[in-house]
Amino acid sequence: MKNREERRYRINRKGFTLIELLVVMVILAMLAAIVGPKLFTKVGKGKQSAAKTQIEMLGQALDSYRLDIGHYPNTSEGLNALVTNPGVEGWDGPYLKKALPNDPWLKPYQYQCPGTHGDYDLFSYGADGAPGGEGENKDVNSWE
């Protein structure tokens, strides 16, 4: 008889109680609340860095275009001139290995030639898609 009671006690003791599970869930929620916001700021910085890298890559492609043609594509030709011939003599492209990329926020890069800050202006408006801003909303420019 004693053996049966011991077995029943062991069988009933094999799981977690509801309170134990709730305590673990509360601890996990507190950790997520502390760590989560810090991780999200890293994502924004990563997108800013990716935009800077893409702008530099596009700048190199624009420089190659200029070496072949003698000038940068004008605003109406835009960055598409790096991928498809806009009908100019001497075009030896495509100047990009892949298709023309969007910025990390999935919006097209802005291009103006002649630019107000140099031969051309190439920039992204950031996460908010509007001029100015701070943090992830900050503009990423070719002239900075």
CA separation for the pair 114, 116 (Å, rounded): 7
For the chain, the structural domain boundaries read: 2-141
Q: Per-residue DSSP letters for 19-45?
A: HHHHHHHHHHHHHHHHHHHHHHHHHHH
Average pLDDT over residues 2-25: 72
Is residue 6 predicted with pLDDT exceeding 80? Answer: no
pTM check: above 0.75 = no
Who has greater pLDDT, 98 or 37? 98
Confidence of residue 45 (pLDDT cuts 50, 70, 90): confident
Given a contact cutoff of 8 angstroms between Cβ atoms, the answer to whether 122 and 110 are in contact is yes
Given a contact cutoff of 8 angstroms between Cβ atoms, the answer to whether 94 and 83 are in contact is yes
CA separation for the pair 65, 17 (Å, rounded): 69
What pLDDT, on the 0 to 100 scale, is given for residue 104? 93
* CATH 3.40.605.10 given to domain 2-141: no
Is residue 37 predicted with pLDDT exceeding 90? Answer: no
Closest CA to 97 of 78, 82, 114, 108: 82
Burial status of residue 5 (CB atoms within 10 A of its CB: 0-12, 13-18, 19 or more): exposed
Question: 112 pairs with which residues across the strands?
Answer: 121
Q: Per-residue DSSP letters for 74-127?
A: -TTT-GGGGTS--S-TT-----SSSSPPPPTTS-PPEEESS-SSSS-EEEE-TT
Is residue 16 predicted with pLDDT exceeding 90? Answer: no
